[in-house]
Amino acid sequence: MDSGELVGVGAFAQLSGLTVETLRHYHQVGLLVPVAVDDRTGYRRYGLRQLPRARTLAALRDVGMPLEDVAAIVDATDRGARRARLVEHRRRLTEAARRAAGRVEAMDRMIEREDALKSSLRIEEGTLMLSDERLARELLGTLDRTDFGHLGVRHEGKVRDSYVDGDVRTIVTTDRLSAFDRLLGTIPFKGQVLNEIANYWFDATSDIVSNHLLEVPDPNVVRVRECAPVPLEFVVRAYITGVTKTSLWFNYEAGARNIAGNLLPDGLRKNERLEAPILTPTTKFEAHDRTSVATTQSPRAS
């Protein structure tokens, strides 16, 4: 067939990869006008020389490009301008793919929660709540740090990043693991678990005392009222152990027997279980916790 030969709309649709309906729409908006239209029947005929343009339109449609960009690309004579539009659409596709991946992850979490609701509340020894394969995959995508400047002024704690905007603070619980006043790495889902445990107790005790929680927009995120914190926490200790300066054993070994008002007998050994758990307050600092009540040495201690 000669390149100028006319073919009917059905044949042209098969050759171009466009549907008859799409060809009708492109005709209406002026993107691809048929060479001839029967005045009586409205039957459209296209020239084979229009195939390259039609196939370009099909390719751009298949990648979801908006019609205004499609028109600009197929009619542009400036290759730089065409490339710039292609690059911009690729950026939009990348952003859409990132959002879609986040939605898939959210769906995975919803499915896991649904499965957990159907299972027994008591997890038998050796039962895996997540597969080894899933955990191994998540090791490559743990939440180590955030940088959401649009949420407010950023503050970084040991495991939480927070953003203050007026009287609202957005707190992101990351997967960072802090132990012995050191950051040791990240653990998959650690931030989500920590955040959801806290939220459970905020909800469970809200009828006893009001709290700062406003909403939970994400398993790792809470939005709260900005409050003046009391930099104090209480640690319940059942064993005499530890190696840091705030630990029970460190102070006991140094001769202390009165630990924050708790009198301990002589002769205790490291890692020994106490006769009864004791309560010790500490001050909260971003870098380190510190014992808030002075310890008292036994006069018999050397």
Calpha distance 161→83 (Å, rounded): 39
Block residue for tokens 């905007």: 165
The pair of structure tokens assigned to 124 is 């038998």
Q: Say what the pLDDT of residue 116 is.
A: 57
The pair of structure tokens assigned to 72 is 């600009």
Give the length of the chain. Answer: 302
Q: Which helix (DSSP H) or strand (DSSP E) does residue 52 occupy?
A: helix 51-62
Q: Say what the pLDDT of residue 165 is.
A: 94
pTM score, whole prediction: 0.49
Q: Cβ neighbours of residue 58 under 8 Å, at least 6 residues apart?
A: 16, 17, 18
- Is the Cβ–Cβ distance between 28 and 57 less than 8 Å? no
Sorted by where each starts, the structural domains of the chain and their CATH numbers stand as 6-75 (1.10.1660.10), 149-225 (3.30.200.20), 232-297 (no CATH)
- In the chain, DSSP finds a helix count (H) and a strand count (E) of 8, 16
* CB count in 10 Å sphere of residue 259: 20
CA angle 125, 129, 133 (to 5 degrees): 115
- Is the Cβ–Cβ distance between 8 and 43 less than 8 Å? yes
- List the pLDDT tens digit at each of the 302 positions of the chain: 444 689 999 999 999 999 999 999 999 989 999 999 988 888 999 999 999 999 999 999 889 888 888 888 888 888 888 899 899 999 989 988 888 887 887 788 777 766 655 544 344 545 556 778 888 888 888 999 999 988 999 999 999 999 999 999 999 999 999 887 788 999 999 999 999 999 999 999 998 989 999 999 999 999 999 998 888 888 899 999 988 888 899 999 999 999 989 999 999 999 999 999 999 887 765 555 555 444 544 443 33
Q: Say what the pLDDT of residue 126 is.
A: 52
CA angle 88, 90, 92 (to 5 degrees): 75
CA angle 69, 71, 75 (to 5 degrees): 120
Question: By C-alpha distance, which of 155, 213, 221, 163 is closest to 194?
Answer: 221
